[in-house]
Amino acid sequence: MTKRFFGTDGIRGSVGKDPMTADFAMRLASAAAQGLVPAGGTVVIGKDTRLSGYMFESALEAGFVAAGADVLLIGPLPTPGIARLTQELDADLGVVISASHNVYSDNGIKFFDRSGSKLSDDIERKIEEHLKNPAITLESQSLGKAKRIDTARVRYQEFCTASVSDGINLEGLKIVFDGANGAGYKVGPRTLGGLGADVIPIGCSPNGKNINDGCGSTQPELLQLTVPALKADVGVALDGDGDRLIMVDEEGRLIDGDQLLYILAIARHRAGGLKGPVVGTVMSNLGLEKALRAENIDFKRAKVGDRYVLEALRETGGIIGGETSGHMLVLDKTTTGDGLICALQVLAIMKQTGRRLSELVVGMHKYPQTMVNVRTAKRLDPDSCTEIQDAVAKAELELGDTGRVVLRASGTEPVIRVMVEGEDHDTVVSIANRLASVVAGSAA
């Protein structure tokens, strides 16, 4: 059965439009409670800083309590913090109200199981089956109750701090931290400062409407200007819900998820602590794969989406994986993508080696890569179109073994993403535009 509401990272959309309404949120809570929470069970609910988070928090609370679940309200905290607290508080389900890197007028809802892992496709389908039924309200004696947990931020901060080796501190590092005016705006600076860093916060003044607005991992331009202007050692940027990480070196140059994955993998490999292959996605830069293989590190590709990276890591016994966008997984530290914990691992490597961030990425040459999004009037499977496949074959022949072509249908909108990478930038752009024209013509 195809999922109607759940995408690659929960349910997401414009506030006030189906499905992101208060009524739907209450029904979703009821459906999730019926499928995943035993009688008298516990649910943890956290959120980012969006104005609509108040509404969805109340609606979810009502749906869970009416279905007999007890609710622990966390308030603003990074998504991975909710995953951790779901485990720590022995809850049956964790819920995050966030649209991640989207604009403030969007919002979303995603779930974690009691182990702090995202739900499988099968479980999400079961929740959607329950959504076909009206929300339930039990008799008064069977209703749940709700309370706020005031120690949530401190608990998560302590967990993050404990992820770096004993004896390692960040003294002597001047760090510009960009919280995207989102869920990490408090815990990020306080964690880094608690480890001795000199922290300059930007994007840490949320007002409910400025999340991801000119700041954070998806709009790092201000961070790139601020780091060299203040002569800082490094910049750290999270996205709105804190599960993505982008960093900036001392010269203001962007260090993306592929480069961060390289840094983490090389350090673990040389220390003898790397297990299994490193897992990226079909969109990961070819330069990452070649750089890792040069160090005799196995590299695997998964479908786009950190949940699929996680599945591949579990299947292969790996511990490190991630996406170009900055979704990073370090499974011997935590169960899900965590921007702050991954930043701490990179900062610890800088302290241990005495090397700048720019020096840590020298061994990886990024291949020129371009992406063209082709909007179509209808859903289109590029793999089933002979004309598109012939064009792809011609492009791959032209690139040889020094480039790649990836065509991927978006999971949330009628868009075909055309990605081309190779050694020469102009050639890459030319091939990408040519393929995009073929896709557009086939979809007309």
Q: How many domains does the structure of the chain reveal?
A: 4
Please check whether residues 58 and 90 belong to one and the same domain.
Answer: yes
The pLDDT, as a whole number, for residue 42 is 98
> DSSP readout, 135-190?
PP---GGG---EEE-TTHHHHHHHHHHTTSPTT---TT-EEEEE-TTTTTTTHHHH
Mean pLDDT (whole number) for 122-130? 95
What CA–CA distance (Å, rounded) separates 68 from 93?
13
Shared-domain flag, residues 126 and 161: no
377 contact partners, CB below 8 Å, separation of at least 6: 414, 443, 444
- Alpha helices in 221-338, H assignment, sequence order: 221-229, 257-271, 286-294, 306-316
Is the pLDDT confidence value at 412 over 80? Answer: no
Q: Are residues 242 and 309 in the same domain?
A: no
Q: Is 2 contained in some domain?
A: no
Report whether pLDDT(410) > 80. Answer: no
From 207, 227, 254, the end of a domain falls on 254
The verdict on 240 and 267 lying in the same domain is no
- Antiparallel, parallel or unpaired: β 174-178 and 234-238: parallel
144 and 206 both lie in a single domain: no
Are 309 and 321 a contacting pair, CB within 8 Å?
Answer: yes
- pLDDT recorded at residue 409: 84
Q: Are residues 176 and 195 in the same domain?
A: yes
Best CA proximity match to 334, nearest among 159, 198, 205, 153: 159
- Residue-wise pLDDT for 312-356, tens only, equals 999 999 999 999 999 999 999 999 999 999 999 999 999 999 999
100 labelled catalytic: yes
Is the same domain home to 340 and 220?
A: no
Q: Which amino acid is at 437?
A: S
Among 238, 254, 270, residue at a domain's last position: 254
Is the domain of 238 the same as that of 201?
A: yes
Largest separation between any pair of C-alpha atoms in the chain: 71
pLDDT digits (tens, 9 = 90+) for 37-47: 998 999 999 99
**pLDDT band at residue 266 under the 50/70/90 scheme:** very high
- pLDDT at residue 60 is higher than 70: yes
**Residue 233 is part of a domain; what is its CATH number?**
3.40.120.10
Strand 174-178 to strand 106-113: parallel, antiparallel, or no bridges (unpaired)? unpaired
Q: How many other CB atoms sit within 10 Å of the CB of residue 54?
A: 12
Angle made by CA atoms 81, 85, 91, in degrees to the nearest 5: 140
Give yes or no: residues 37 and 130 share one domain: yes
Q: Would you say residue 275 lies in a domain?
A: yes
Same domain, 36 and 125: yes
The three-class DSSP label of residue 327 is: strand
Please name the residues in contact with 288: beta carbons below 8 A apart, sequence gap of 6 or more. 258, 259, 261, 262, 280, 299, 364
Residues 326 and 285 occupy one common structural domain: yes
Q: Given a cut of 70, is residue 120 above it in pLDDT?
A: yes
Going by pLDDT thresholds of 50, 70 and 90, the confidence category of residue 442 is: confident
Candidates 30, 52, 100, 217; catalytic one: 100
**411 pLDDT tier (thresholds 50, 70, 90):** low
Residue 294 confidence (pLDDT): 96
**Residue 112: strand, helix, or coil:** strand
On the question of pLDDT at 1 being above 90, the answer is no
Q: Which domain covers residue 243, as residue numbers?
A: 156-165+172-254
422 in Cβ contact with 387 (< 8 Å): no
Q: 25 and 128 share a domain? A: yes
Position 381 scores a pLDDT of 83
What pLDDT, on a 0 to 100 scale, did the predictor assign at position 182?
Answer: 98
Summarised one tens digit per residue, pLDDT across range 195-223 is 999 999 999 999 999 999 999 999 999 99
Q: How does pLDDT run across 281-320, given as a tens digit for each residue?
A: 999 999 999 999 999 999 999 998 888 999 999 999 999 9
